[in-house]
Amino acid sequence: MSKYSRIVSILLDSLPHIKLFNGATMVIKYGGAAQINPQLKEQFAIDIVMLYMLGIKPVIVHGGGNKISEMLQTLQIPTEFVDGHRVTSLEAMKVVEMVLSGEINKELSAFLNFHGLKAVGISGKDSRLLCATPKDGGKLGYVGDVKEVNIEVVQKLLEGGFVPVIAPVASADEAHHPGFNINADTAACAIACALKAKKVIFLTDTQGVLNADRTLLKSLSIQEVESYKQKNVIVGGMIPKVDACVKAVNAGVEKAHIIDGRVEHSLLLELFTSGGVGTEILRDSQ
């Protein structure tokens, strides 16, 4: 087969997926753990450009756990995790917002714009996109639970052909409040539900959800998620991720995927090849 025939054959293979996804809104959570080197970030940006050019409407929600930890360490602000959530003091909250909204959000938007998109970086505070109250009665400090989603700003951006890039910081119903640190998986879920997105995809730093023997669990039902949590197979940062998946599919998002952001072009592999990659979480009736 000549080089050109191979290209045509690849395009034809992808056609059913391209047809299926044309016009679909997809929320993509770009985990801090997967933002490990400039090359991967570059490839992520190219994948988003590809999605956009194929008629998909991507909405990016990003994390930044590693960078926040580094900055807190530099500033000697202590931090600890409970069930995958960072206990956030007032001091830490200021750093969380600085790193998420100030650094990562602007870096990602600039990168996407450099590659030809019209990306707009905002946070959950803008236009009160995400409004929160203290999680678990405040025992995690400024970690918030999303109580209200005002999705209009994201819809308007999508209608205008922009790619929203969202930092997971929420506003509070109180003047002079520093805002809330929202786990980025939880934020992606809230936004996917409000948009009635076709898919929500989480890019992280593992192959997907792994079993106790470290093998990949390719597909999980909601019941299985609960059972793996109870058996302490799913722990730490994977807990808010699977919870977000379950909530999203229960709210009508067709499928939730957890894929390996360390693999080059994992988004394209998931969306445009029959094999798919990572773990998919389905509603129990699916």
Residues that bind ligand ATP (CB under 6 A): 31-34, 63-65, 84, 184-185, 204-206, 209-210, 233-238, 241
The yes or no reply on residue 141 touching Mg ion (CB under 5 A) is no
Q: How far is the CB of 31 from Mg ion (least distance, A)?
A: 6
233 binds, among Mg ion, ligand ATP, none (CB under 5 to 8 A by kind): ligand ATP
- Cβ nearer to ligand ATP, comparing 21 with 243: 243
Q: How far is the CB of 133 from ligand ATP (least distance, A)?
A: 21
Nearest by Cα to 202 from 160, 157, 237, 150: 237
Region near Mg ion per CB under 5 A, out of 15-23, 137-145, 234-242, 246-254: 234-242
Chosen residue from 121, 179, 237, 261 binding Mg ion by CB under 5 A: 237
Nearest by Cα to 254 from 26, 52, 39: 26
- Cβ nearer to Mg ion, comparing 21 with 124: 124
Q: How far is the CB of 73 from ligand ATP (least distance, A)?
A: 15
Region near Mg ion per CB under 5 A, out of 1-9, 131-139, 229-237, 273-281: 229-237
**CB 243: neighbour CB atoms within 10 A?**
19
The yes or no reply on residue 64 touching Mg ion (CB under 5 A) is no
Report the C-alpha gap between 235 and 118 in whole angstroms: 37
- Cβ nearer to ligand ATP, comparing 21 with 47: 47
Report the C-alpha gap between 189 and 198 in whole angstroms: 12
Is residue 163 within a helix (H) or strand (E), and if so which, with residue range?
strand 163-167
* Burial grade of 8 (CB within 10 A; 0-12, 13-18, 19 or more): exposed
Report the C-alpha gap between 286 and 281 in whole angstroms: 10
Task: Compute the half-sphere exposure of residue 72: CA atoms within 13 Å on the CB side of its CA.
Answer: 23
The yes or no reply on residue 168 touching Mg ion (CB under 5 A) is no
Footprint of Mg ion (CB under 5 A): 237
